[in-house]
Each structure stands twice: as structure tokens, then as C-alpha cells.
Amino acid sequence: MVNQFAASAPGKVNLHLGVGEARADGYHDLVTVFQAVDQREVVRLVVEDGVASEGESVVAGITTHWTLEGALSEQIDTPSNLAWRAVDAAVAAHRAAFFPVALPKVRIEVDKAVFVAGGMAGGSADAAAALVAANAYLEHFSGTALDQNQLVALAKDLGADVPFALMGGNALGTGRGDDLVEMLGRGEFWWVFVNPRVPINTGEAFGLLDDLRHHNPSLVPHLDTTAVAQALTSGDPEVLAVALHNDLQAAALEMRPQLKELIRAGEAEALAAIVSGSGPTVAVLCRDSGHAQEVRDALAGRFPGYELITTHGPAAGALL
């Protein structure tokens, strides 16, 4: 008998992040261009003894294995973890759509390869991978599975970045960032991601941007993604370097001024440097894999204690 179901999903970088007005639901209207990067979270559902009763969670527990240096002070192995919530959501949707069957308990194991709360959507990648793994588990034990549209709907309910972690590649996101359209591109782009370990609360970053705009009329929403679209189709990292933009960077730099030095160093060593999402991770764009390794070594020497990842995009979305 199959005793585990595993899937992986990628981290991301926002090549363009335009932030519009606040919405009634508390979110902001976004126009963003995502690129999935080949730094993947792995989620395994390990089958255990015992059967979950109807309405009971099939999840017996969750364990996170850290593949990055450093450890979190906060506890994330709880039912509020996005991977756990994703498994519960998939099982609930399956029970509603099909005749309920007895399902064995599972323990979730997560291999963390993306910075936590770093602006690379690591938690969203966990959720996407968990949805795909849970669907395989459900199909194995019931003979039926959720379709892709159902998985996307669940992903949207779990978080704005989860649908893109399912999709991967390059995509234009609108609305909350979860209405996605695939974008054409060619070639690969190499990145060094640097996490200075100074957390930024995403909601506070959006709120601060709203405040900053009241006092600085130059901080208008940048909602035109034409330059990034052309850069992706060119496949030229030097063209993409000029097109990168993040409206939230102003707020991130206000909240964590030390990011300014990191960005200046990244720009000096590479083609461009930009805050990834709401931060604090800084994404440094390089010419190729060799250049990325040189940049990583230089930044590691200059910023001891920071976490660094070298990887490339675009990458595939969630996969078994």
C-alpha cells in the first residue's frame, strides 16, 4: 500500500508589483507579474494508523524540517499552518462533492526551502503542494479526485498567492493578485535572494504605503506591466533589470532602513536589486548562473548572518 503522497511547489518573485486603492474587503487592488523560481517547498502526507471519522480532520499532526540555516522563534507546526489548512480544505471539498469514504489519518511533513515570512510566498507554496498531495491521497483511497478548477477555488480561499504557486511559470495577477493569466517568456533568469532576517508584517506594509501616499504624491500606483512583458519575451536579463518595479518597496524601506544598504550592494554587484513582495527579502537579478554565484559570494561576505539563496526562474507550479 502507498504510505505517503508528496508534492512540491515553487517560491516566487514579483517582477512588477503595482498597488492600487484599498478595497472594501481589506485587500488592495493589485497588478502584479509573478515569476516562479526553482526553490521548492516539499509537502508529504505520511499515512498513519487510524481512520478519521466523518467531519474530523484527517491530519494527525505536522512537522517542519528546516533546510535553510537559522530557526524561527514562532511555532508554525499548528492547525493554522497553511499546509494543514489546505489538506483539511481538500478533504472537506471532496466529502461535499462525492460520497464520503473512510480515510486514514496522515501526518504532514514539510521541507522548508523558502524563507519564512520573506516575501517569496513560501507558505503559499506549502498550501499549493499540500492541495496537490491531498488530491492524490483522496484519489488513491476513494477512487475520485477534485478537478483543477476545484483546486484553484480552494487555493483562492487559502490565500492570494496560493493560486500562482499552483500555476507556476510567469503570470499576470490582478484583483488580489489571484486572478491569473499566463505570460509568455523565453529563457531563464538567475537570482540571488537575500533575507536580512528582519520580518515585515505584510498588512502593516500595505497600510504604511497608504499613509506615505497621503504625503508624497510621487508614490502613485504603477499599474502598467508593458515593460516587464516585453522584457520577458526578450529573454534578456539586462532588459528585465530596467523594468523591475515594486510599489511596496517604499514602505519596506521605511520600515526596515537597513534594506537600503542591501539594495545598494545588490545593484553594485549585479544588474538590479528589488524588494521581493512585501519584503524583507531582496531579489538580486544576475546575468547567468556563474554571475549569480559570484554575486552570492560577494553579498555573503558583506552581510554575514543573512540567509542567501541562488536559483532561477521561471519554474513549474505545484507537482507530484
Active site residues: 12, 161
Yes or no: say if 64 and 43 are a contact pair by the CB < 8 Å rule.
no
At 19 the three-state DSSP class reads strand
DSSP string of 90-150, one letter each residue: HHHHHHHHS----EEEEEEEEEE-S-TTSSS-HHHHHHHHHHHHHHHHHHHHHS----HHH
> Within its chain, how far is the Cα of 125 from the centroid?
5
Q: How far is CA 197 from CA 57, 79, 119, 120, in A?
A: 34, 25, 12, 13
The helix (H) or strand (E) run that includes residue 45 is strand 28-52
Distant-in-sequence, close-in-space partners of 86: CB < 8 Å, separation ≥ 6 = 126, 127, 128, 130, 131, 134, 154, 158, 162
In this structure, what DSSP letter does residue 12 have?
E
Distant-in-sequence, close-in-space partners of 30: CB < 8 Å, separation ≥ 6 = 17, 18, 19, 20, 173, 174, 175, 176, 177
Q: For every residue of 76-87, which 3-state class applies, written as one string?
A: CCCCCCHHHHHH
Write out the three cell numbers for 141.
Answer: 483511497
Place of cell 537579478: 285
* C-alpha–C-alpha distance, residues 311 and 171, integer Å: 18
